[in-house]
Chains A and B, each alone.
Chain A
Amino acid sequence: MIRLNGDERDDVAAGETLVAVLARLRLPLDARGVAIAVDGEVVPRASWPSFQLRDEARVEVLTAMQGG
């Protein structure tokens, strides 16, 4: 099971790429102001289409929010 922003997701499978993850969040590949970490490591935007998720991957899709 993939964990996406803290939630276990059955609509994202191991082997899929981060493009699929973005699609589940209804985000385009060129979404502005977005960054992704997988298992605590930054995945550069250029690698999103090729980055394949392992099972149990923890994916964080982040953006700018009000703060500090």
Chain B
Amino acid sequence: MIASMRETIDTSSDRANGAIGRTDATPAAPAGSDAIEIAGRTFGSRLLLGTGGFPSLQTLADAIAASGAELVTVALRRIDPDARGSLIDVLADAGVELLPNTAGCHTARDAVTTARLAREALQTDWIKLEVIGDEDTLLPDAPELLRAAEELVDDGFVVLPYTSDDPVLARRLADLGCAAVMPLGSPIGSGMGIRNPYNIALIREAVELPVVLDAGIGTASDAALAMELGCDAVLAASAISRAQEPVAMARAMRAAVQAGRLAYGAGRIPRRRYATASTSDEGLADLT
């Protein structure tokens, strides 16, 4: 795959434009099926939903239904005995699987402890591992992330790490035994889309694991692009929850993920600097 991609870029007349993503002709995506398998579990939707930022539990419930998501993230926070309505009840009613995260953790130690608390609270050994290294960008702290991933994998967790768009780091996480890698497109909540699509395509080639584009999605076209680059799934949170109409955006993201997946399987045409007529000149009338 890497060799064929390099060859295409190096030998094609449009190398200045740089083909990204799949450039070979063989569809890699199974036709018809939109299911994804992570750590031996099959999910019918390739859209994962983050539950943060929804204005109400009802909007969250409606957005889950509209998105078709079957795996949704939750955070672990101090309990509020006076809170009205239970998130857990809403998610149980929606029939979704929970993916607790370690959001807000800045050290491997905190993240590992949070994962263990999540396992206690929610009876799941799945964890979306986040170890933040910078308050302004919320970019991952790579050494701490690797340390936490290793400890959690050893402890029997199914680890889905939120990572940077660095293919080498993604491979290191895969080598440690993570169940997927979740590279960012751009900083969390920034809505900046995929700032380095080349790296996302490289990550797709670097690991055999499911690749879930995690952060930075701003609108539906970003999600479609992620899938066209070969990502196996997209996790959207703020892009849906903070949209003016979250439920409508959930529907849009669902369609975008499906469209991008189909396009990836269909194999896009190469980019060219000059036109290529779609209509043959053969039989063209002489009208001079």
Report A's interface with B, CB cutoff 8 A. Answer: 5-6, 25-27, 32-37, 40-42, 44-45, 60-68
Tell me whether B117 and A67 are in contact (CB under 8 A). no
B122 cross-chain contacts in A, Cβ below 8 A? 33, 64
Tell me whether A66 and B75 are in contact (CB under 8 A). yes
Tell me whether B74 and A35 are in contact (CB under 8 A). no
A66 cross-chain contacts in B, Cβ below 8 A? 51-54, 60, 74-75, 87
Known: A64-B100, A68-B50. A42 touches B81 (CB 8 A): no
A5 cross-chain contacts in B, Cβ below 8 A? 78-79
A6 smallest CB distance to B (angstroms): 7
Within 8 A of A (CB), among B94-142: 98, 100-101, 103, 113, 116-118, 120-122, 128, 130
A33 smallest CB distance to B (angstroms): 4
Total A-B Cβ pairs within 8 A: 90
Chain B interface category by residue count: 20 to 34
Known: A42-B113, A66-B53, A68-B50. A35 touches B81 (CB 8 A): no
- The one of B50, B88, B116, B121 that contacts A67, using a Cβ cutoff of 8 Å: B50
A41 cross-chain contacts in B, Cβ below 8 A? 113
A18 smallest CB distance to B (angstroms): 12
How far, in whole Å, are A36 and B76 apart by their CA atoms in the complex? 11
Tell me whether B79 and A25 are in contact (CB under 8 A). yes
B73 within 8 Å of A by Cβ?
yes
- The one of A26, A32, A36, A67 that contacts B77, using a Cβ cutoff of 8 Å: A67
